[in-house]
Homo-oligomer: A and B are copies of this chain.
Amino acid sequence: MIFDFFKEVGIIEQLSRARLEARLPDGLIAPHFAVLNHLTVRGDGAVPIDMARAFQIPKTSMTHTIKGLVQHGLVEMRSNPDDGRSKQVWLTDKGIAMRQEVINALGADFALLAEGFDMAALARIKPTLTALREYLDDARDVTAGG
């Protein structure tokens, strides 16, 4: 049944998140890492509201996550020269280093996974997951029956 499909997705998300967070320093959780990663991959100095939209979370949640990163010295907030309302979030050297360490540790985790599980099978189903994600993303505001 299709309901079970999403149940499996939920469990895998929970288990993989637990493994990620086991690699993070005390006091940091998945959303913190997601921000560091976003800044690295999509470009440093992002505006908080833009990341909130990218993650599809409320802006108050993003404010809170960034505050935690600032307190740990992993990012710093700067005023945005182009817009006095908004700010920019910049990685610190410590933040760059910490993300890299986590990436390295995750590499070991993935290597272990590859020893016991058919990674090619995951690569094979990834396009379908991507298509589903894109569909759900686009149809975000479409509701059945009101």
Contact = CB atoms under 8 A, between A and B. Distances in A.
Interface of A: 2-6, 8-17, 19, 22, 56, 105-106, 108-113, 116-117, 119, 121-126, 128-133, 135-137, 139-140, 142-145
A8 B98 CA distance: 23
A122 B5 contact: yes
A135 B116 contact: yes
A121 B126 contact: no
User: Which of A3, A9, A109 gathers most chain B CB within 10 Å?
Assistant: A9
A100 to B, nearest CB: 14
A121 B128 CA distance: 7
The prevalent SS among residues of A at the interface is helix
Contact of A112 (B9, B109, B142): B142
A15 B106 contact: no
A23 to B, nearest CB: 9
B143 A22 contact: yes
A9 B12 contact: yes
Contacts of A9: 9, 12-13, 16, 129
Contacts of A123: 2, 5
A80 to B, nearest CB: 27
A13 B13 contact: yes
Contact of A5 (B105, B112, B126): B126
Contacts of A106: 3
